[in-house]
Amino acid sequence: MNRRDYLLRKFGLSIVTIFVVVIINFLLFRVLPGDPVRAVVGRNVRISAETQRALREQFGLDKPVFPDQFFDTLGQWAQGNLGVSWSLRRPVSEVLMSKLWNTVLLIGLGQLLSIIFGVILGLLAGWKRKTAIDVGALTFSLIAWAIPTFWLGIILLAAGSTWFGLPTGGIVSPINVGKPLYTIIPDVARHLILPTFTLTILYLGEYMLIMRSSILEVLSEDYILTAKAKGMSHWQVLWKHALKNAMLPIVTLIALNLGFTVSGAIYIETVFSYDGLGKLFQTALTKQDYPLLQGAFLLLAVSVIIANMAADVLYAVLDPRVKES
């Protein structure tokens, strides 16, 4: 396929997907029972009929849902105005931004570690197929897949806090808030150990499996046989010929995994009371804070879609098969 066509198609699909997410978000908010004014001022605030009418006009709620309200809302979202959280009484976008980097830190660390270990273990497992390493790696990934994320978190939380004295939740100990960076950084690192470890175990299995099957496929190609025939050692063959080609599916997997990664963050941040977007999502869910829920969903979905597109672009650059014809 022509590289430009490929990228255009992926780009178009991303736009359509973002549009679908926006429509879902808009519709779900509209079907909620009760007056939409309540959605703006909160459910338990007393307001007079007069104020209510004024608010309806101010927010354009007296206009038809489509097209006026729809495009109005779209415009607001595009400007980053996601409404006001019911439970926190602060603008949703402000709340989201304050938690975003904590989640990026957690997910980034977990992904990085699991990719490094996943690629190494997958390579070993595929190369030494049907040996103890391979069987061990397969068993591990199978069990890691079958374990519910949050339950693994609970177990590691119990074990880590009882036997290793690790903190049970949060990002920084209350006594260290406001202290200089050299006290805060080691403390944050201690808080990150358990959630990062859980995430790494969770993601590792899949990277390992993909790397293993990818390396198996590459190793049965004829050019590997040729390289071996030239007298290269196994390590040389793996390093010079196999690894580069086998890494390609990992790139796509990172993109495909992002949605899964976000799910993991919701569970793990809940278990470890880690102050990020996932925990925020869960709190919004239990408090039925719809503006916050919708804003968080929009942010998570759109970032996953954009990251996915970025991975597609990267794939097109890396894979010589997708090139200018």
Partner 1 sequence: MNENWTLFKRNLAEFWKTFRKNRLGLLGAFLVITSILVATFAPWLSPYSPSDIIRDEGGHGLTFASPAVHAPLGTDDAGHDVWSQLVHGARISLMVGFMAGFIAMFVGSLFGILAGYFGGAVDNLLMRITDILLVIPDLPLMLILVATIRQLDLKISPLTVLIAVIGLLYWTSTARLIRSQVLTIKERQFVARARAIGAGHGHIIRKHILPQIMPLIVANTVLILSTAILVESGLAFLGLGDPTKPSWGTMLNFAFDRSAVTNGAWWFYLPPGLAIVWVTLGCVLLGNVLEEMLNPRLTAHHLEGDQNMVTVPGKGVE
What residues make contact with partner 1 under the rule CB under 8 A? 13-14, 16-17, 20-21, 24-25, 28, 31-33, 126-127, 129-130, 142-143, 145-151, 154-155, 157-158, 161-162, 168, 216-217, 219-221, 224-225, 228-229, 233-234, 237-238, 256, 258-260, 262-263, 266-267, 270-271, 281-282, 285-286, 288, 293-294, 296-297, 300-301, 304-305, 308
Looking at the Cβ atoms of 142 and 318, the one nearer to partner 1 is 142
Tell me how far, at minimum, the Cβ of 35 lies from partner 1, in Å: 14
Tell me how far, at minimum, the Cβ of 282 lies from partner 1, in Å: 6
Tell me how far, at minimum, the Cβ of 301 lies from partner 1, in Å: 5
Tell me how far, at minimum, the Cβ of 183 lies from partner 1, in Å: 26
3-state secondary structure of 90: coil
Looking at the Cβ atoms of 104 and 184, the one nearer to partner 1 is 104
Looking at the Cβ atoms of 185 and 306, the one nearer to partner 1 is 306
Looking at the Cβ atoms of 48 and 286, the one nearer to partner 1 is 286
CB neighbour list of residue 246: distance below 8 Å, 6 or more residues apart: 123, 126, 211, 214, 215, 217, 218
Cα 301 from Cα 303, distance rounded (Å): 6
Tell me how far, at minimum, the Cβ of 299 lies from partner 1, in Å: 10
Tell me how far, at minimum, the Cβ of 31 lies from partner 1, in Å: 7
Question: For the chain, what is the radius of gyration of the CA atoms?
Answer: 24
Extract the tokens encoding 239.
Answer: 């390093």
| Among 208, 200, 172, 203, CA closest to 109 | 200
Residue 168, CA distances (Å) to 161, 184, 242 in order: 6, 17, 43
| Among 308, 311, 290, 309, CA closest to 28 | 290
| Among 34, 42, 138, 139, CA closest to 89 | 42
Cα 296 from Cα 290, distance rounded (Å): 10
Looking at the Cβ atoms of 70 and 260, the one nearer to partner 1 is 260
Looking at the Cβ atoms of 130 and 178, the one nearer to partner 1 is 130
